[in-house]
Amino acid sequence: MKVTMQRVNKAVHFIAYGSDGHSILMDGSEAIGGEGKGVRPMETVLMGLAGCSSIDMVMILDKMRQKLEDIRIEVVAERADEVPAVFTKIHVSFFLKGDLKEKKVAQAVDMAFQKYCSVSKMLEPTVEITSSYVINEVEES
């Protein structure tokens, strides 16, 4: 897997390219000279965690023959006060819609984080990662 990145301006605005040619815009926070022209690098890590765990959820629920109609994700993270400002805690919330059995969803979340999600597995040793889910807007756990 390979990505490339190029600076866009003299501050800290960059454009990064993935292997399929898709690009994303990145920028630093204002505190370090950024101008809000893209997502922040640490945000892309949270997006990666959201993406990989959600793709796993979609695949696992499909294998379980659960009818997932929609999925929305929120990821909230706390960072260390000092440099390096690593994440100390991350919470991933899944908001699911569909004809879903609560027990199956609970199993799918467990499997996603315990077995499949590569991003979670890499962060696990240094970050406390927790998760929860809401099915059809009724909070289940």
Task: Check binding of 84 to a second copy (CB under 8 A).
Answer: yes
Asked if residue 65 binds a second copy (CB under 8 A), the reply is no
Instruction: Give the one residue of 60, 75, 105, 135 binding a second copy; rule: CB under 8 A.
Output: 75
| 104 binding a second copy? (CB under 8 A) | no
Residue of 65, 81, 125, 137 interacting with a second copy (CB under 8 A): 125
Contact with a second copy (CB under 8 A) among 123, 129, 131, 133: 123
* CA dist., res. 34 & res. 121, Å (int): 30
Binding part of the chain for a second copy, among 27-35, 98-106, 129-137 by CB under 8 A, reads 27-35
Q: Which structure tokens are listed for 38? A: 């893209």
Q: Which residue reads 């965690």 in tokens?
A: 49
CB nearer to a second copy: pick between 44 and 132 = 44
CB of 95 to a second copy, least distance (A): 9
Cα separation of 34 and 13, whole Å?
7
Q: Is the dihedral of CA 108, 109, 110, 116 positive or negative?
A: positive
63, 118, 128, 141: which one contacts a second copy (CB under 8 A)?
118
Picking from 70, 49, 78, the residue whose alpha carbon sits closest to that of residue 134 is 70
Distances (CA, A) of 36 to 13, 29, 41, 47, 85: 8, 7, 12, 17, 19
- DSSP code of 30? G
Q: Tell me which residues touch a second copy (CB under 8 A).
A: 1-7, 12, 14, 16, 18-20, 22-26, 28, 32-34, 36-52, 54-55, 58-59, 70-79, 83-87, 115-123, 125-127
